[in-house]
Amino acid sequence: MTGYAEVILIFNLAADGLLLTAAGILLGQPIKKTRIVIASMIGTIPLLLHMITGWDWLIHFAVKLMTPVLMLVIAYKITRIAILLSASLTFYFVTFLTGGVLFGFQSVFLNGAASGQFSTVLLFILSISVAFYFIQRRLFSMSTKRNFKKQTVPVTFSICRKEWSGTALIDTGNSLCDPITKKEVAVCQIRHEDGWPAAISSGEQAILTQLPDQWAEKMTWIPARSIGAEKQLLAAFRTDEFTVFLDGKSIRTDRALVTFTTVALSDDQSFFCILHPNMVRQ
């Protein structure tokens, strides 16, 4: 019986450590192994005392609810209530999701034809790995897209010594790109009086043949489904330099294409360019 109790305690210690680590990574907290181990040991104390004394209050719901909070404080030195609440909810979410995945694996492997081939420990490690992948890659990806959806950033680019700078909208719905080179395309608003070639600022494709040679060499045709019209070819231009300023950092690329329009892109003039979301990836 003693050996069985030791296995339970060790498994509980390891499980707490894995859950704390996963929650810390998702929260962006620095991971310190020593503090994780100490916090995991704190989380095991109620179970150990219950085995020794038999006191039922040690496994009461309130104790189970508050123990992870103390573990998070020890593991990541969290002192602010708002951050602690967010960290606690993240820890509970990881725990419940891992438990659900573990239950599913047990139902498939331990109660089915493959019964006996997988230990509970192995299934737990597999479960927390799957849960962590789902949270980080799927939920965080969706959250990033929502955050980018209405974000505006400063942008500057140059073509044939002609420079443009202004505010751009990161539009996750913009999938415009060159189907051959896979270069992303930005839509930029210009004005007639800004000195752009007349063939571009006029907005008429018929006179694009009148472009100067240096501009004509940079032009390519991009098939588009809907930018003012259905199923048309847009004239896009290869930039000499394209820079996006995001979170205090500059993201520079020479793989950008720009198509121009004289139509206002924003009714309130809050942005003058629409970016492909890949243009802000570092």
192 and 215 share one domain: yes
Single-letter amino acid, residue 274: I
- On average, the pLDDT of the chain sits at 78
Long-range contacts of 97-101 (CB under 8 A, 24+ apart): 97/131, 97/134, 97/135, 98/19, 98/124, 98/127, 98/128, 98/131, 99/127, 101/127, 101/128, 101/130, 101/131
Active site residue 171: yes
Structure tokens at 258: 């720009």
134 and 257 share one domain: no
155 and 56 share one domain: no
Residue 132's pLDDT is: 66
Number of helices and strands in the chain (H, E):
8, 9
* 259 pLDDT above the threshold of 60: yes
40 and 133 share one domain: yes
In the chain, the number of structural domains is 2
Q: How do residues 109-157 score in pLDDT, each as one tens digit?
A: 655 444 444 466 666 667 767 766 666 665 555 445 445 445 888 999 9
174 and 136 share one domain: no
> What DSSP assignment string belongs to 14-50?
HHHHHHHHHHHHHHTPPP-HHHHHHHHHHHHHHHHHH
In the chain, where do the E strands start and end? 152-159, 162-170, 185-189, 219-226, 230-238, 241-246, 249-253, 257-261, 273-275
41 — phi, psi (to 5°)?
Answer: -65, -40
Q: How do residues 91-103 score in pLDDT, each as one tens digit?
A: 888 888 777 767 7
- Asked if residues 20 and 27 have their Cβ atoms less than 8 Å apart, the reply is no
Q: Worst-scoring range by mean pLDDT, 97-101, 189-193, 197-201?
A: 97-101
Question: How far, in Å, CA of 237 to CA of 260, rounded?
Answer: 9
What CATH number is given to the structural domain containing 164? 2.40.70
203 and 95 share one domain: no
Q: Which residues span the domain enclosing 252? A: 150-280
141 and 272 share one domain: no
**What is the dihedral sign for C-alpha 275, 277, 280, 282?**
negative
Which has more confidence, 141 or 256? Answer: 256
60: left (phi over 0), alpha (psi -120 to 50) or beta: beta
Q: Could you say which of 171, 194, 254, 268 is catalytic?
A: 171
